[in-house]
Amino acid sequence: MSLNFSVEFPTDSQNVQLLSWLVGLILTNAFGTVANTVLLLVMFVHKSLRRSSSCSLIVHCITIDLYLAAVVQPIFSIPIYLGPLHRLPRYFCQFQPLSVYSVYTAGMYASSNLAIHRLFATVWPQKFTVLTGKPVLVGLIVSPWILALGVNIFPTLELGIAMGRNPDSGACQFVETRLGQYPLLISTLFAVYIPTAVTGVCYLLIMAKTYGEVREKKGRYVQRRLEISRTLFLSFVWHCLTMYPPSVVMAFYADDYAGHFALQLGMHWLIMSFSAMNPVFFWASSKLFQDGIRKVLLCKWRTHESSVTAV
């Protein structure tokens, strides 16, 4: 994923804004660390979620969000606060595609694999058992990391694209080489746009099919499947809202963006807040997760639960 920033080196009057942004970002990701940890406990504690056929894939996605909130985002913000005049070792940026951006890419493909898995459960339930075996689930968890490494090894080795410091903000970003912009466009296509498109199409099909079954009153089983799918779909929408509006602003309103320091910091925060704020959507949109969070926070982990398994 390409996060190209153009924050100018702050003047004295902007230092307070920059410090406030850093504190806000750290607090946001501290909240995200705690919230994602609670979500992980919910997946293991709440029986209805633990027995879901997609449990391991959801846990995988939450684990990636936890790592992003707890490790990646705070580290990524430090060079921005230090500014472009603070010297960093050359390898600091060179290896960020593997240490930082590969986690974003793996998260994108992990979400798309989860969406594909739930699509099969919804549309072809008779054959879905093929996708519930341990080898298949392990493959769905490992494959995003293989794809992420495949995409991000090229900028790490400076093949076609490279990683360098932004002269204005000090952040590490993808830069063009003598091959021009096409390698960067291809990298972004495979790292961002393809998994986003696959995830979006899958959830649209899932929601259409499941809502139709709900109208036919096919039972509580379908209601729970709809509830989890709706939560994951809202998470996907939130992801799009954190990623694409900043890209549109930077692409089509570049002059206004470059001249508005507060807007730049706001776009930074939006892009870097997805993993931290994502648990809010799980809590707000799903009674299953609400019940699970309540059990975790109140340490009521052994109470009786419904025998209906969420899919």
pLDDT in tens, 213-261: 666 666 566 677 778 888 888 999 998 898 888 777 766 776 776 667 7
The two beta strands, 161-165 and 172-176, are antiparallel
High-pLDDT (> 70) share of the chain, %: 84
pLDDT (0 to 100) of residue 279: 92
Residue 123: pLDDT over 90: no
What 3-state class would DSSP assign to 174? strand
DSSP H or E run through 141: helix 134-156
Q: Do 48 and 311 meet the contact criterion of CB atoms below 8 Å apart?
A: no
Alpha carbon distance 176, 158 (integer Å): 10
- Pull the structure tokens for residue 283: 């809590």
pLDDT (0 to 100) of residue 195: 94
Q: Which residues contact 299 (CB under 8 A, 6 or more apart)?
A: none
Alpha carbon distance 78, 244 (integer Å): 23
pLDDT (0 to 100) of residue 88: 79
Unique residue bearing structure tokens 């603070």: 86
Q: What is the band of 178 on the pLDDT scale with cuts at 50, 70, 90?
A: confident
The count of other CB atoms within 10 Å of the CB of residue 197 is 12
Mean pLDDT for the chain overall: 82
